Structure formats: C-alpha cells, structure tokens
C-alpha cells in the first residue's frame, strides 16, 4: 500500500492515507491507454456531416439543351456532380464513430492513468475543497499554493462555490468522481482528489 499525504487548501499536511496498489500501482502500457483515449475522442464526434446526392438537390429535371448540333458535350441533368449546384458524388453521410472498448479494459486504463499521476508526484489528496464564497481570485490563489497549472479536480458531490469559482479558469476542470475518465486524467497535468472520493474510486475500479 502506498502512503500519500492529505493536504488542506493552504497546502498544509494534515494526515496520511493509504492507496490501494491494485488501483494506484499499475504499470502503464501505452497501447491500452491509447486505445481507450481514441475510443473516448471518437465518441465525442457528432457524425452529423451530410451532403446531398444528385437525387436530392432541388433542380429541374428538364434536359439542359438538345443532344446534338450545339458543339457542346451531352448534358442531361443540372444536378450532375460535375455542374455548379449539382449533387455530391461521394459526400459525407451521417455516421457513428463509436469504437467500443470492453469495460474491464477501460477500468484497467484508468488504473494505469491514476498510477502514473501518483508515480510522477502529480496527484494531490485534499481533505476538502470548501470555498466560503464564489470568487475566482480565491480559487486561483489555492491553485498557486500547489504550483498547479492545468489541473483536474474530482469531488464527491456538487460543490457550487468551487464549480462557479473555477468556471472562468480555462486550465482547470472540476468533475464528480462518477465521471472520472482516462482522457481527462492524462490531459491535465495535476490531479486533485477530495479524500472522500478515493475509496469510491477504488471500489469502482476493483469491482
């Protein structure tokens, strides 16, 4: 079991907790992390791009000009893809970009990502993250105590003061523990876990 310090918002050590090695001491494997991250990013794509074919564009079906005697190439339809305003020959159609990954593999990748944060000293455990008022200045000052930039903060329950104080800080993201995922853990340099979320995350990833 790894032992890690628990801090308050002034970065004062107040206690220690043990972290389960099955969650926070898992060797990282790049192919697994890559597979899960790609799956997440593909899932965010809307896939709504669409172009009309020649059968769908609003054009008259009348022949443009007579077949012979004009010296021009034969033309039978204004909706031809070769003409301006015509339909698209091989345009995009709505599709799903989803690439499914087994649940156990997603859990394994998340354990690897969390282990990397601990290994690289980029994981902070806070006893709580209570702000007396909604004020961005106070929130940023706390982040400066930890010398943290591009940080992901994971809470147990809705924390309105924290969420609203951080919403104008572009390099910080606040989420609840149910939404923790591989992409965000890897994308943000520092990870802050509220102490009460640690056991819940461990239970979810071991079960």
Can you tell me the distance from the alpha carbon of 162 to that of 50, in angstroms, rounded to the nearest whole number?
Answer: 41
Q: What does the pLDDT look like over 170-192, one tens digit per residue?
A: 999 999 999 999 999 999 999 99
Fold of 2-46+100-206: Ribosomal Protein L4; Chain: A; (3.40.1370)
Can you tell me the distance from the alpha carbon of 29 to that of 117, in angstroms, rounded to the nearest whole number?
Answer: 14
Mean pLDDT for 81-93 is 93
Can you tell me the distance from the alpha carbon of 156 to that of 149, in angstroms, rounded to the nearest whole number?
Answer: 22
**What is the DSSP code (8-state) at residue 195?**
H
Q: Predicted confidence band at 60 (pLDDT cuts at 50, 70, 90)?
A: confident
Q: What percentage of residues in the chain have a pLDDT greater than 90?
A: 90
- Do 152 and 192 touch, CB atoms closer than 8 A? yes
Q: Residue 129's pLDDT is what?
A: 92
- For the beta sheet containing 123-126, the strands, ordered from the edge strand earlier in sequence to the opposite edge, are 13-19, 2-7, 123-126, 190-194, 151-155, 172-176
Mean pLDDT for 94-120 is 95
Does the pLDDT of residue 15 top 90, yes or no? yes
Does the pLDDT of residue 2 top 90, yes or no? no
Q: What does the pLDDT look like over 116-150, one tens digit per residue?
A: 999 999 999 999 998 999 999 999 999 999 999 89
3-state secondary structure string across 126-163: ECCCCCCCCCHHHHHHHHHHCCCCCEEEEECCCCHHHH
Most confident option among 72-76, 84-88, 183-187: 183-187
Can you tell me the distance from the alpha carbon of 54 to that of 80, in angstroms, rounded to the nearest whole number?
Answer: 6
Q: Predicted confidence band at 9 (pLDDT cuts at 50, 70, 90)?
A: very high
List Cβ<8 Å contacts ≥24 apart for 10-17. Answer: 10/142, 10/145, 11/145, 11/146, 14/127, 15/127, 17/125, 17/195, 17/198
In the chain, which residues fall in CATH 3.40.1370.10?
Answer: 2-46+100-206
Mean pLDDT for 64-78 is 91
């Amino acid at each position: 079991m790894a032992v890690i310090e628990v801090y308050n918002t002034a970065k004062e050590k107040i206690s220690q907790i043990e972290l389960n090695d099955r969650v926070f001491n898992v060797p990282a494997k790049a192919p697994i992390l890559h597979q899960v991250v790609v799956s997440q990013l593909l899932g965010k794509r809307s896939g709504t791009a669409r172009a009309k074919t020649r059968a769908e564009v609003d054009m008259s079906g009348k022949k443009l000009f007579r077949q012979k005697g004009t010296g021009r190439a034969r033309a039978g339809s204004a909706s031809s893809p070769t003409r301006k305003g015509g339909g698209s020959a091989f345009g995009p159609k709505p599709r799903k970009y989803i690439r499914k990954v087994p649940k156990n593999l997603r859990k394994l990748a998340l354990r690897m990502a969390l282990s990397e944060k601990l290994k690289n000293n980029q994981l902070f455990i806070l006893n709580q993250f209570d702000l007396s008022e909604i004020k961005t200045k106070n929130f940023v000052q706390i982040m400066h105590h930890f010398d943290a930039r591009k940080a992901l903060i994971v809470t147990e329950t809705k924390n309105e003061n924290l969420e609203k104080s951080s919403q104008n800080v572009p390099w910080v993201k606040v989420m609840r523990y149910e939404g923790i995922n591989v992409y965000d853990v890897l994308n943000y340099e520092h990870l802050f876990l509220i102490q009460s979320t640690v056991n819940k995350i461990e239970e979810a990833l071991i079960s």
